[in-house]
Amino acid sequence: MAAWPWLLAGLLALPLLALFLRGFPALPGTAKDLDVVLTSLLLATAGSLITLALALGLAVLGVLGGVGRTLEALLLLGYLVPPFVTGIGVLFSLQAFGVRIYGVPGILLAWALHYAPLAYLLLKPQVRVAMGLLAAARVHGVGGAKALRVFLPPLLPPLLVAGGTLYLALLGNFGVPAVLGLPERVYVLPTLAYARLLSPTAQDPLGEAAALGLWLGLLALPVVLLGRAGLLEAKEPLLPPARPAYRLLFALYALLALLLVLLGLLREALLNPYTGAWDPVFAQALDLPLVQKGLRNSLLLALGATLLLLLLALALRPFPGLLRRVRGVLDLHYLLPGTLLGVGLILLLAPTPLYATPWLLLLAYLLNFAALALRALEGGLGVEGAVLAGRVHGLGRLRAWLRIGYPLLLPSAFAGAFLIFPLAFAEITLSALLYAPGAETIGVAVLSALNGGLYREASALGLVLMAFSALALLGRPRW
């Protein structure tokens, strides 16, 4: 068996290894932080269950209502918005009604609004199967509680997959707890690791941050080990006719969820808080020096990461076995909380010239989003068959891919680009840990504005990030 897959896995795992070696000796010193460990575990678990229940209800409404791509795009926009922007929007929207939403309730609400579309996409295919089986059972006279025996078993695998995905996402989320938790001194492991890393009073800030990252990894490890690669596939079931009432309920939720985020941002960014007069603050926000640096750095980093990752995926695509092995290794960096990767890169590369430069952020983005690029091009049904047909007709391997294979992969490549770019542009967890003066990103600029009391400017920048996030929907190829 070739040794290179193991060498590659070892090389890519170096940040996590550095985290373990530095964090393990400092682990006993984190006994005072066990309350934060427990808070992180309980919040991630509760948030996953709440979001899962919400997404399951949406999936049932979507299937019974025959919801199409337009309404699903409206729902999905809530997920493509950066999580910390969701937190800011919910905060300001509810403040307009005199509701204070800081702390645990605000975190759970923002998480549910943000991640429900992701769980919906994971659950909907199997909900269609379950609803088809339920319709068949009713035809045969099975109803009431007995119908649950038909409805629930097909949903268990996707529920476990979606629940594990949500748990990992919430466990490693930095932006929402930073916006809604820190003002009430509600810490989770990512925000506490960030605070310890920057603390001027910490005796060993790197060691303490690494130990907290190790706790984060320990909480995530069971879900990663027990996770499943995908959902069950099934043929299109026979469903009852679509009901407009269910479609209307789905549309109302998607619209209200989006408005709950959008209205607060618009109110802060467009209206004078004292007079209520029209007073847009976009120009002032974009004139801030930190914002200008952040926009430039984020744009260059997102474009660079997207281009490099798609070129890597295209280069590996003619070798499906190699692509799967590389993606299997890189999946770990996407699944595990970004705090682990960020602290690991600090420990690994602090002694090198790469540290405290934008190149370190680019490396972090490449490692974090590589799995998305590889998965985007891993599909492409019929590509191998078309390339093989070209070779049968006399084309060499390279020419067959250049003339047949790669043109067929262009839609997948464009879809991957429109997914990776907005996520990289608004990334905050890695950016907050790894940025250096002069290399701030737009996410760091928004949080800095918020922490500095520039709420109107932060809201305006949040709307700018929402517009960039919409690219992932508006730019979908329709070839």
Which of 182, 197, 193, 195 minimizes the C-alpha distance to 219?
A: 193
Q: 380 pLDDT exceeds 60? A: no
Confirm if 161 and 230 have CB atoms less than 8 A apart. yes
How far is it, in rounded angstroms, from Cα 170 to Cα 339? Answer: 12
What lies within 8 Å, CB to CB, of 216 at 6+ separation is 40, 171, 172, 189, 190, 193, 337, 339, 340
368 CB burial (10 A radius; 0-12, 13-18, 19+): buried
Alpha-carbon 180 to chain mean position: 18
Which of 245, 391, 230 minimizes the C-alpha distance to 318?
A: 391
- Domains of the chain, start order: 15-279 (1.10.3720.10), 281-479 (1.10.3720.10)
Helices (H), 288-337: 289-316, 320-335
Task: State how far the alpha carbon of 28 is from the alpha carbons of 34, 35, 190, 208, 387, in Å.
Answer: 10, 14, 18, 10, 57
The pLDDT tens digits of the residues spanning 177-223 come to: 999 999 999 999 999 999 998 888 878 898 999 999 999 999 998 88
The pLDDT tens digits of the residues spanning 400-413 come to: 888 888 888 888 88
Phi, then psi, of 278 in degrees rounded to 5: -65, 120
The pLDDT tens digits of the residues spanning 48-63 come to: 999 999 999 999 999 9
How high is the mean pLDDT of the chain?
A: 86
The pLDDT tens digits of the residues spanning 86-95 come to: 999 999 999 9
**pLDDT at position 429, please?**
92
* % of the chain at pLDDT higher than 70: 89
User: How large is the average pLDDT for residues 75-101?
Assistant: 90
473 CB burial (10 A radius; 0-12, 13-18, 19+): middle
How far is it, in rounded angstroms, from Cα 443 to Cα 462? Answer: 9
Confirm if 46 and 105 have CB atoms less than 8 A apart. no
Q: Which residues sit opposite 271 in a β-bridge?
A: 278
Confirm if 205 and 199 have CB atoms less than 8 A apart. yes
Which of 362, 374, 363, 360 minimizes the C-alpha distance to 330?
A: 374
Q: With cut-offs at 50, 70 and 90, classify the pLDDT of residue 478.
A: very low
What lies within 8 Å, CB to CB, of 94 at 6+ separation is 100, 101, 260, 264
The pLDDT tens digits of the residues spanning 107-125 come to: 999 999 999 998 998 888 8
Torsion angle of C-alpha atoms 28, 29, 33, 38, degrees rounded to 10: -10
Q: With cut-offs at 50, 70 and 90, classify the pLDDT of residue 229.
A: very low
What angle (nearest 5°) sits at the alpha carbon of residue 320, between those of residues 317 and 326?
85
Token pair in block for residue 153: 């078993």
Q: With cut-offs at 50, 70 and 90, classify the pLDDT of residue 343.
A: very high
What angle (nearest 5°) sits at the alpha carbon of residue 469, between those of residues 466 and 470?
90
**pLDDT at position 468, please?**
80
Q: Highest mean pLDDT range out of 129-133, 151-155, 171-175? A: 171-175
pTM of the model: 0.89
How far is it, in rounded angstroms, from Cα 455 to Cα 256? Answer: 23
Confirm if 90 and 264 have CB atoms less than 8 A apart. yes
Greatest alpha-carbon pair distance for the chain in Å reads: 75
